A and B are shown apart, each in its own frame.
Chain A
Amino acid sequence: MRPGLHIRNLGGAHAAILHRPHAVVQSLARQLTAIGLEVSTHWPDLGADAFNADFIFFDVDMGHDAQFPWPPGEAPMPTVALIGSEAPGRIEWALAMGAHAQLVKPIGDSGVYSALLIAREAFYARRALSDEIKSLRERLDERKTVVRAVTFLAARGMSEAEAYSQIQRMAMNWRVSFEAAARRIVARYAEEDGKDGDERSHGR
């Protein structure tokens, strides 16, 4: 079962607002404070302190890449776009910044709580996906290694299925991934075969 929203640890979380001084900042800060968060406001840019924030609310109307201490789309925390002008170019920029949720200005009496929860879920979902993609890529890159390891083992009399289960067993014994076990096998047998080759050439 999918775990419930972990809403309680919002208490004492730090939200940084990147917006020029404006009524929007007040309404936003009021709601955040009522929910139980600490609020800091920033303009014209975020500064390195922002790395300590748990949430970033950023203005889209006057926003640009250089306001952030990280590259576009790489914020290490959930971010919420504050959208005034719904011009496609601005929305495109907000998306490029990797916004996890949005609030449309003016900010009224509600909306911040759901933006916090949605942004946080989206942030963790996106991070879990990119971790998974990274690990799948690594495994994909190791396909050749696995084929070589099976070939080495087959050359020593094992069937293909036996070779696979041998690698699996080694991975378990060594407590490493299947691909890492295959890498070790390749390294070992490539060396042995290399020596064999040398000896043979001597014998001739």
Chain B
Amino acid sequence: MAIGPRIQFAKRGQDRGLSVLGARLAKRRIEIGLLYSRSGTYTLIAEACRTGALSAIAEINADPDCDVTFIPVERDPGGNIDHYGPLCEEILSQTSARHIIGCVTSWSRKEVIPVLERSGGTLWYTVPYEGFEASDHVVYTHACPNQHLIPLLDWALSRHGRRVYLTGSNYIWGWEMNRLTREIVSGAGGEILGERYLPIGGLEIGRIVDEIEATRPDFVMNSLIGASQYQFIAALRDLGLSDERFAPENCPVLSCNLTECELPALGAAGEGLVAAGPYFRGSTSWPGGGSFGSSHEAATAAAVHALARLLAGRPGAEYESLSSLLASPTAGACNIDPKTHHSTLPVLIARVQSGQFRIIEECGLVAGDPYLTRDRSQATAPEGRTLRVVK
């Protein structure tokens, strides 16, 4: 649950028509869409995002200094990829909502972008993804590879070695994460020992585990999602218990999208997992502060707060295009790059210990660089980069 105001609205009551007798600021009722699958293989992530959205909406609605009340309009694609486009269309055509918070997989995001383009809507996308996109109709509030994969590989290559096994779910996230990993590991003189994919929801992890046992990598880069990931992590835990060579301290499993919201599904098998993310429970570097259940929750709450900030005090702004909103005077404080629509985020690396993520490395605040074209020193020098430590 989010605590504390992350947006301080200037107390300009009289400017906004607040009566001298202390009446509450007249609130504008603005519908916003929520497009999350409440069933299906990645539902834990969707629920964490939804919690972040609803708690931030409650905060905005309770804030007497913000003239915005958000009315959530929810649609549930039920984990079915073919429902995302039509349900996005439905929100944009049957309600007054122009902004939708939602989507977990990149596949579903790619399905809704053409709809957003046609209707002039905006998607606030709040989970880590593989980069190489900067849609004029999407705001990206979670991390892209220069904020998760690259620092995570920096860490792993210098501590564990350069012999790497790659696995992932069979869609764009897994493919592109592994392509990038291959490029970075090869560039560092390392070796890719194997690369295997499972269909989303697939549980046939036997072959992957056998190959890991046979090739004995220094670490495993895991871009599986949902049930496949849970099954894989449990199997690797068993392997580590039977042969110390595969225990987490000798052959860690790395992830760029694993957060607290999925730890309950992993149980004891989660011990020793290493993940990169912008927020872990207890970390203090999240822009604007606050306390959340996971980075999925934090990034979704940040999206709602940024939207409120862009709309507050400007009646009619809810119908402006995203590019026009991001050009408005309040946009500067929203932590969103108007060129790429990506966010500046803390980069943290954490390991699961006693059922919780413990931060083992802080790499400072890093601006999202979706095409890996901006910060060459970071993008091209996986080794020897100076890490900045922030409080």
- Contact assessment for A8 and B372 in the assembled complex, using a CB-CB cutoff below 8 Å: yes
Instruction: Give bound CA distance, A30 to B326, whole Å.
Output: 13
- Of residues 64 through 98 on chain A, the ones whose CB sits less than 8 Å from some CB of chain B are none
Contact code string B348-391 (vs A, CB < 8 Å = 1, else 0): 00000000000000000000011111101001100000000000
Nearest residue, chain B, Cβ from A11: B373
CA distance A12 to B371 in the complex (A): 12
Question: CA–CA, A36 to B55, complex, Å?
Answer: 35
Q: Is the CB of B113 within 8 A of A33?
A: no
Residues of B within 8 A of A36 (CB): 369, 371, 373-374
Q: Is the CB of B340 within 8 A of A8?
A: no
Chain B residues contacting A53 (CB-CB under 8 Å) are none
Task: Check if A109 sits within 8 Å of B136, measured CB to CB.
Answer: yes
Establish whether residues A11 and B134, one from each chain, have CB atoms under 8 Å apart when the complex forms. Answer: no
Known contacts A7-B371, A34-B339, A34-B340; A109/B135 CB under 8 A: yes
Q: Mark B126-160, 1 if CB is under 8 A from A, else 0.
A: 00000011111100000000000000000000000
Given A4-B183, A8-B379, A34-B339, A109 and B113 contact (CB-CB distance below 8 Å): yes
Is residue A158 contacting chain B, with contact meaning CB distance below 8 A? no
Rounded to whole angstroms, the CA-CA distance of A128 and B205 in the bound complex is: 44
Counting CB contacts under 8 A, is A170 at the interface? no
Q: Count of chain B residues with Cβ under 8 Å from any Cβ of A?
A: 24
Q: Is B137 within 8 A of A10, CB to CB?
A: no
Q: Could you tell me the dominant secondary structure of chain B's interface residues?
A: loop
B134 with A8: CB separation less than 8 A:
no
B117 in contact with A35 (CB, 8 Å): no
The 6 closest A-B pairs by CB, nearest first: A11-B373, A36-B373, A34-B134, A35-B371, A10-B373, A34-B340
Q: Does A44 contact B (CB under 8 A)?
A: no
Q: Are B371 and A31 in contact (CB under 8 A)?
A: no
Q: How many Å lie between the Cα of A4 and that of B376 in the bound state?
A: 17
Q: Which residues of A contact B371 (CB under 8 A)?
A: 7, 10-11, 34-36, 113
Having A7-B372, A35-B371, one finds 15 other A-B pairs with CB under 8 Å, namely A7-B373, A8-B372, A8-B376, A8-B379, A11-B373, A11-B379, A34-B370, A35-B134, A36-B373, A36-B374, A108-B117, A109-B113, A109-B137, A110-B113, A113-B371
The answer for the CA separation of A36 and B113 in the assembled complex, in Å, is 21
9 contacts between A and B (CB under 8 A): A7-B373, A8-B372, A8-B376, A11-B373, A30-B136, A31-B134, A34-B339, A34-B370, A109-B113
List CB contacts (< 8 Å) of A1-34 with chain B: 4, 7-8, 10-12, 27, 30-31, 33-34
A interface residues, Cβ below 8 angstroms from B: 4, 7-8, 10-12, 27, 30-31, 33-37, 108-110, 113
Which residues of B have CB within 8 Å of A4? 179, 182-183
Q: Which residues of B contact A35 (CB under 8 A)?
A: 134, 371, 373
Q: Which residue of chain A has its CB nearest to the CB of B135?
A: A109
Q: How far apart sit A10 and B183, CA to CA, in the bound complex (Å)?
A: 16
Considering the complex, give the chain B residue whose CB is closest to the CB of A31. B134
How far is B277's CA from A58's CA once the two chains are assembled, in angstroms? Answer: 42
With known contacts A35-B373, A113-B132, A8–B380 Cβ distance under 8 A:
yes
Compute how far the CA of A109 lies from the CA of B183 in the bound complex, rounded to whole angstroms.
28
Inter-chain contacts of A10 with B (CB < 8 A): 371, 373
